[in-house]
Amino acid sequence: MLSSNYYSCEKIFNQEKKNIFFKYWIFAGFTFEFTKNKIVKKNILGMDLVFTFDGKSHHVFLNQCPHRFAELVAEEQCDRNLITCPYHGWSFKLNGVVNNIPFNQELYKLNSNNIGLHSIALNIVGKFMFINFAKRPIPLTKQFSTKIIDELISISNCIEESHTEVKQRYFNWKLIIDNLRDPLHPLFVHKKTLMQSVKSGLPGIPKWIPTFLLNIKSLSFGGLDVEIRKPDYAKLFKDPWNCSNRYFNLHLFPNVHIASADNGSTFVVEFFEPISANQTKINISYLLTKHNLRNYKLIQFLNRLTKSSNLVYEEDFSLLEKIQSKMNNNLIMMPSNGIYERMIERFHAVYRRILK
């Protein structure tokens, strides 16, 4: 298990940024956020980014002009077929190539073919978007198995829209990742909430896998889990994803969790974005499959869904914040408490290896 300084030391956090978050594919949103000529500004892992869709393809760029680094897009989102820099008026098409450099012939004499927006690697799996900040990104298939990619495509085929909430809490991102690999805690922490819809009892014991067989791909896993009761609102959804009355639980390395606790009617995608060693931004997207809900009925449903989910989140987050307050740099080892914690141990073993 990792010692407490891994959860509190800024030096280790910077190492994580370099060797994990700026090296591997990171979740960045959904394609259905974009209609033709839509430009969306996002800040992911402290990077100011511009996402565009020209009707054919999606692109991601640094939100900085290649000329003198002025901010290109100030609005959160807008509909435009060009990005124009406010500093000296250079304009760019939504695929990043130069559209026009005012007074180029008179004052600059630049070859605009050699200039363009700073592009960030983008990979689209179904409706899920992943970005990679590395100069030479690894193939996505080195990070996710075919099974995981197929699962994401299959979910994408059912989902139509998302509603996002953002929370910022005081705990290290790995505390929530560990927590999600701890199938025993719901019996205690979520006894009055999540566990009310779960039919079965104790979780199973994950099988032992020798450390040398573990790799990055093994850290993205999951699928159908414990048996659950169907919620009363399931009838509102016309074509849910087939969960066979089970809780769906998918973990994507490094920091995404996807779950469905209502037999595939809705999904939640949780993206745990590290802000510092002891702060995490939690981006929660509620994904809806095809439904009959219109106008205020949809708002009413979403209010109910987010309210019940927030009770569960609060149970976890308030507990994790208290654990975080005990984390310091005095190198006290967190003991392994038993074989059911093997999923956490696997995560820590590979994490240590790639952090070096």
User: From the CB of 180, what's the least distance to Fe ion, in Å?
Assistant: 7
Q: Which residue has the tokens 């973990």?
A: 251
Residue 243 binds ligand FES (CB under 6 A) = no
Residue 316 binding: pick among Fe ion, ligand FES, none (C-beta 5-8 Å cut-off by kind)? Fe ion
In sequence order, the 6+-apart residues with CB closer than 8 A to the CB of 29 are 40, 42, 51, 129
Instruction: Using alpha carbons, select from 276, 289, 271 the residue that is nearest to residue 162.
Output: 289
Q: Name which position in 55, 87, 153, 209 contacts ligand FES (CB under 6 A).
A: 87
Cβ distance to Fe ion smaller for residue 16 or 316: 316
Full DSSP string of 75-112: SSEEE-SEEE-TTT--EEETTSBEEE-TTIIIII---G
In sequence order, the 6+-apart residues with CB closer than 8 A to the CB of 1 are 333, 334, 335, 336, 341, 344, 345, 348
Binding mask 300-339 for Fe ion (x = CB under 5 A): ----------------x-----------------------
Handedness of CA 308, 314, 319, 323 (dihedral sign): positive
User: From the CB of 239, what's the least distance to ligand FES, in Å?
Assistant: 47
Residue 41 binds ligand FES (CB under 6 A) = no
User: From the CB of 309, what's the least distance to ligand FES, in Å?
Assistant: 42
Residue 90 binds ligand FES (CB under 6 A) = yes
**What is the DSSP code (8-state) at residue 252?**
E
CA angle 272, 276, 282 (to 5 degrees): 20
Q: Name which position in 70, 153, 299, 311 contacts ligand FES (CB under 6 A).
A: 70
Q: Which two tokens stand for residue 10?
A: 């800024």
Residue 50 binds ligand FES (CB under 6 A) = no
Chain residue whose CB lies nearest Fe ion = 316
Binding residues for ligand FES, rule: CB under 6 A, are: 65, 67-68, 70, 85, 87-88, 90
